[in-house]
Structure 1
Amino acid sequence: MSTALTPGQKGLLETALLAQRQRLESELALQLGGTDRVTHAREQLLQDTDGETAHDADREVDLARSDATLQALREIDAALQRLQDADFGLCADCGGAIAFDRLRLSPQVTRCITCQSATESRGGHAHPATL
């Protein structure tokens, strides 16, 4: 089965993914203050001289936020890789075409809405890349 996506549609999705990636990279740079994640975590730990619970909570939120941003970047990179495949835009579960409007909203999805709904109703986790 071949994808119903035209080269133009794939181009639009690639542009959207690259723009998302650039935005997330900028967001991550702001979160980390221009350092790598390990250095940033170490700096956060060294700032915790008085053991304040609020500071511990802030540090955990900060690290969780950068983890989420890194995960989103990995999902975008994976989508950019899949975009080069002939079957990009086909549902990973049923093989049917994923609606272009769905892909346009979230180019990293891997399931059509029907299969995603079925996965969620079975108690499957709604991973952001499959929404």
Structure 2
Amino acid sequence: MEPLTPEQLALLKTMLERRVEALSSVEQPQQDASELPVDEVETSPLDRATVRLLNDLSREAADHHSAEMRQLRQALARFEDGTYGLCEECGQPIGASRLLARPEARLCIDCQTRAERR
């Protein structure tokens, strides 16, 4: 696979920066502050189950948001150290089509496929 051109690198960096900006503008649910009360007087078991489910979904969304931000920032850091676009496992170029689809990708298709099979 051919290394990325400077134009492709610039486009991918812009894509990553825009995603970070978009995620930063979205209010991240606060795990502790978003807890809905479970022990209100005279609530039904179904109401308590619903509240627990909503709290779990809120925590999961916050975890997903944090993980995505971490991946994006790590990808931007790879631009700084010159390793962006190289597979972290085999060291080969990842490929423009994969990076255009997933700019935060750390592994080439072959290494990602092997990792998913494990």
Give the TM-score, by structure 2 length.
0.82
Specify the SS of the correspondent of 2:89. Answer: coil
Maintained 8 Å contact 2:92/2:108: yes
Q: Which residue of 2 aligns with 1:69?
A: 65
Q: Which residue of 1 aligns with 2:108?
A: 112
Q: Which residue of 2 aligns with 1:91?
A: 87
Q: Which residue of 1 aligns with 2:15?
A: 16
Q: Residue 43 of structure 1: CA displacement?
A: 4.6
Aligned match for 1:101, one of 88, 91, 97: 97
Q: In 2, Cα distance between the equivalents of 1:62 and 1:10?
A: 35
Q: Residue 80 of structure 1: CA displacement?
A: 0.5
After superposition, residues 50-61 of structure 1 pair within 5 angstroms as 50=40, 52-61=48-57
Deviation track 1:63-99 (CA, whole Å, cap 9, x = no partner) reads 1101111110011011000012223211111111111
Q: Which residue of 1 aligns with 2:38?
A: 48
Q: Residue 48 of structure 1: CA displacement?
A: 3.1
Q: Which amino acid aligns with 2:88?
A: A
Say if 1:53 and 1:98 are closer, same or farther in 2 by CA, change over 3 A: same
Maintained 8 Å contact 2:3/2:93: yes
Specify the SS of the correspondent of 1:62. Answer: helix
Q: In 1, Cα distance between the equivalents of 2:102 and 2:71?
A: 11
Q: Which residue of 2 aligns with 1:78?
A: 74
Say if 1:85 and 1:60 are closer, same or farther in 2 by CA, change over 3 A: same
Give the TM-score, by structure 1 length.
0.75
Name which one, 1 or 2, has greater alpha-carbon Rg: 2
Q: Which amino acid aligns with 1:8?
A: E
Q: Which residue of 1 aligns with 2:25?
A: 26
